[in-house]
Structure 1
Amino acid sequence: MNTEKLNNLHFSAACLLRGLRLLARPGLRHLVWIPLLINLVLYGIALAGGIHYFSVFMNWLVPAWLDFLRWLLWPIFGLSFLLIMYFTFTVLANLIGAPFYGRLAESTIVLMKGRPEPVSEGSFSKALISGSLSEAKRLMYFLARAIPLLILFLIPGLNLIAPLLWLAFSAWFLALEYMAYPLEAQGFEFDEQRRIAKRLPFGVVGFGGLVTLGLTVPVLNVLIPPAAVIGATLYFLEGQSGNQPDIGLAKR
């Protein structure tokens, strides 16, 4: 594994941008349109809910005696609310779309290596079960850390730093989320995926940070999840050493 290359923010950002360009690539686009439809529906619901409940959220967090600070707190808590809403719906969308994302990562590896696509040994129902179980395991990891962070929003004083902590956690978790698919395609389980990610903090968190930012932009947020799967696959595929046959990661 070329650690120096993989731990580079510029390289991870370039892979994500290439993932966006490859969404319409023959060989991949048939695996993209169903996740795009899922994302479109769920993010539409998130946007409508966000517009409707934002004022309620602000009134709840900012008591009347702090109204004079509302102008300062509005952008801080507004960004937090947006991130929480879209992050939650992203986790739900990924849970539903996990089988498609797993196959998308596998097809990206095949396409980039220039080999004919192998005959799948498992049925779609098997991929559905396997992908959903993996996603459920990541969901448990997410909940164990997200709930304490959300509690910080309710504690006066600490809720001022809660948005920054949530942003950092979002970047880390979303990187784990989308990088899981190419790593699972190579047989790496969740614990091993986390070990790999910890060795590449700048590349991984940079990738996740850009994904998080993209999820807050209407229209782009519909395209970001499948693009992130393709981008994460390119990230590991092209970060390999020249003498390794897989995506460049050796199990310990």
Structure 2
Amino acid sequence: MPYIAVTALSHAGLVREHNEDSLVIGPWTLCGTVTENPQTLLFPLGTPLVVAIADGLGGQPAGEVASALVVRQLAALGPSLDGAEAVREALDLCNEELYAAAAGRPELATMGTTVAGMVVRGRSPLTFNVGDSRVYDASGDRFRQVSVDDSPPPPPGRRTTSAVTQTLGGSTRPIAVTPHVTALETGADAPRWLLCSDGLTDPVPDEEIGAVLRVHNDGRAAFELWKAAMEAGGPDNITLALVRLGE
């Protein structure tokens, strides 16, 4: 029977005092907590399965509240996300819910989050993102980014930037978002994707991430990617999910 294997890990890193990342895998959510080891869940291929990572905005209040609200909303909506328009509507709803939750509560004002994820619905998944969390196609020997960074170009001499041009929430007044939603066609060469927050991609170059994924899979791959981010200083929360189709 065809199945979906999802291996996930979330960690605060070495610098941040707490974890503001959250993730959703089908009906399950992990919000602002730490996993000591990669965890793998298996699902039958059929009903739309949502897998997503939300990275609460650092430097602004209640990032962990914002990321948790988004993944819980996506968990509730997941089985209904049967097309690109449904995904866009779900992300619009998440954005509206963030602003509604913050209304009249100064401690939540300007809370926001990025999100990156995918909906696996047969062998034609949808990927989506708002912000700079990422989705990569890691099928076979490939490793290429399929999400679109909402970021300005990095400063001269630097590989990354912490600035973002679009997030869910994050402002004093409601601002509409334009989610990036892409339909993918899977080939026969071991379909697999990596979803991650910038706690992985900022300290670890794409070339190194791709090299790890060409050698390892599932739990070992997740562990080696986490280790690479930690050895690079672990400057931010590290959350990642590997999604693989199997027979």
What TM-score results when the alignment is normalised by the length of structure 2?
A: 0.29
Larger RCO, structures 1/2 (Cα 8 Å, 6+ apart): 1
Higher helix share: 1
Higher strand share: 2
User: Which structure's CA Rg is the greater one?
Assistant: 1
What TM-score results when the alignment is normalised by the length of structure 1?
A: 0.29
